[in-house]
Amino acid sequence: MTAYALAHLRPSDSPVEDDVLRYVERIQATMEPYGGRFLVHGGKVEVLEGAWPGDVVVVGFPGLAEARAWYASPAYQEILPLRTRHLDGDVVIVPGVGPEYDAVGTAAAMRNARERAAGERAGAGS
């Protein structure tokens, strides 16, 4: 199932560093062996709730194994410091959902987990 690498990169007060430009120039070649492709790469963020300073990057991979392998790959690890020395941010890998996904089922599972936890807390208090 498709997996995604998401980055929230926060703005810097200084001009874009040459290291960051070299990182951007080289990153795509590190993703290609793992089937990764940019789905979102910068662009204007339209904030609908809360605050979102910075940029968003979303890379799609065929699955979690490929996303993890890309991030751990020697090619990506070699260029990673070019970005991290100059830009603060958060990067996560998340699994996607398939076409059969139903949020109603997720709500039911969350409800059941909440009720189990409440029952365990009540049992512990006895």
Please state whether 106 falls in left (phi above 0), alpha (psi between -120 and 50) or beta.
alpha
Dihedral, 54, 56, 57, 61 alpha carbons, nearest 10: 150
Q: Which residues pair with 61 in a beta bridge?
A: 3
Residue-by-residue pLDDT tens, the chain, 126 positions: 999 999 999 988 889 999 999 999 999 999 999 999 999 998 889 999 999 999 999 999 999 999 999 999 999 999 999 999 999 999 999 999 999 999 999 999 999 999 999 988 888 876
- If one counts every other C-beta atom within 10 angstroms of the C-beta of residue 35, the result is 15
Closest by CA to 24, choosing from 93, 86, 74, 69, is 86
The reported pTM is 0.85
